[in-house]
Structure 1
Amino acid sequence: MDIFKTTHGAVRGFRASADVVAVLGIPYAAPPFGAHRFREPAPAAPWTGVRDGTAFGPVAPQSAELPGSPVWSPGDEDILTVNVWTPVPDGSALPVLVWIHGGAYTFGSSAQPDFDGDALARAGLVVVTVNYRLGFEGFGHVPAAGGAAHPENRGLLDQVAALRWVRENSAAFGGDPGNVTVAGQSSGAASIACLMVMDRARGLFRRAVLHSPASPCYTPDIAAATTREVAAAAGRPATPEGLAAATPQDLVTASDRVVEDYRRDPASGSRHYDPSLYAPVLDGDTLPTDPLTGIAEGAGREVDLLVCHTTEEYWLLDAVGSCARVTTEERLDRFAEDFGIPEGLVAGYRAATPDAPVPDVYLAVFGDLLFGEYACRLAERHARAGGRTFLARFDRRRTGPEGTVRAWHCADVPFAFGNIDKDCAAFLIGGAPTSADHDLADRMVGAWAGFAATGEPGWPSFDASTGQAEVWRTDDGDEGDGPAPLRTLWAGADFPLLRP
Structure 2
Amino acid sequence: MTGRGRFRGVEGDGVLAFLGIRYAAPPFGPRRFGPPEPVRESGDCLRFGPIAPQSARLPGAPVWTPGQEDVLSLNVWTPSAPDGPLPVLLYLHGGAYTFGSSAQPDYDGTALARAGLVVVTCNYRLGFEGFGHVPGHPDNRGLLDQAAAFDWVREEIAAFGGDPDNITVAGQSAGAACALLLAAARPVRRVIAHSVPNRFYTADFARRVAEHIDPTTPETAVLSADALAKAQRTGPLRHDPVLFGPVLDRLPVPAVDLLLCHTTEEHRLFDRLGTIPFARTDADLAGFAREMGIPPHVVDGYRARHATASGAHIALCGDFVFAEPTARLADAHGRAHLARFGRPPAWHTADVPFAFGNLDGADFLIGGPAGRAEHALSRRMRRAWADFAATGDPGWTGVRHWGPVVPDTRELWRGVDLDRPIDWPVQAP
- Same-fold call, TM > 0.5? yes
Q: Is the 8 A contact 1:373 1:485 kept in 2?
A: no
* Aligned counterparts, 1:447-466, within 5 A: 447-460=384-397
Match of 1:489 in 2: 412
Q: Aligned pair in 2 of structure 1 residues 91, 438: CA closer, same or farther (>3 Å)?
A: closer
Pick from 107, 110, 118 the counterpart of residue 115 of structure 1. Answer: 107
Return the offset for 1:485: 4.8
Per-residue Cα deviation, 1:67-105 (whole angstroms, up to 9, x for no partner): 100111111111111100000134510000011000000
Per-residue Cα deviation, 1:356-386 (whole angstroms, up to 9, x for no partner): 2111100111101110000001111011xxx
Q: Aligned pair in 2 of structure 1 residues 34, 485: CA closer, same or farther (>3 Å)?
A: farther
Q: Post-superposition, which runs of at least 4 consecutive aligned residues in structure 1 deviate over 6 A?
A: none
Q: Is the 8 A contact 1:342 1:492 kept in 2?
A: no
Q: Is the 8 A contact 2:9 2:45 kept in 1?
A: yes
Match of 1:313 in 2: 266
* Aligned counterparts, 1:257-296, within 5 A: 257-262=227-232, 265=233, 267=234, 269-282=235-248, 289-291=249-251, 294-295=252-253
- SS in structure 1 opposite 2:277? coil
Pick from 460, 471, 474 the counterpart of residue 401 of structure 2. Answer: 471
Report which stretch shifted further, 25-34 or 488-497: 488-497
* Aligned counterparts, 1:134-213, within 5 A: 134-144=126-136, 150-197=137-184, 201-203=185-187, 205-213=188-196
Return the offset for 1:499: 4.3
Pick from 370, 373, 379 the counterpart of residue 433 of structure 1. Answer: 370
* Aligned counterparts, 1:293-372, within 5 A: 294-295=252-253, 300-301=254-255, 303-351=256-304, 353=305, 355-372=306-323
User: Which of the pair has more CA radius of gyration?
Assistant: 1
Q: Is the 8 A contact 1:372 1:485 kept in 2?
A: no
- SS in structure 2 opposite 1:15? strand
Give the percent of matched residue pairs that are identical in Structure 1 and Structure 2: 53
2 CA distance for matches of 1:100 and 1:335?
A: 31
Match of 2:54 in 1: 62
Q: TM-score, normalised by structure 1?
A: 0.83
What letter is aligned with 2:322? F
Match of 2:427 in 1: none
Return the offset for 1:9: 2.4
What letter is aligned with 1:394? F
- SS in structure 1 opposite 2:294? coil
2 CA distance for matches of 1:248 and 1:315?
A: 32
Q: Is the 8 A contact 2:202 2:423 kept in 1?
A: no
2 CA distance for matches of 1:275 and 1:90?
A: 44
2 CA distance for matches of 1:389 and 1:67?
A: 33
Q: Number of residues paired by the alignment?
A: 423
Q: TM-score, normalised by structure 2?
A: 0.96
1 CA distance for matches of 2:400 and 2:269?
A: 22
Q: Is the 8 A contact 2:147 2:186 kept in 1?
A: no
- SS in structure 2 opposite 1:459? coil
Return the offset for 1:139: 0.3
- SS in structure 1 opposite 2:380? helix
Q: Is the 8 A contact 1:81 1:130 kept in 2?
A: yes
What letter is aligned with 1:349? Y
Q: RMSD of the alignment, in Å? A: 1.3
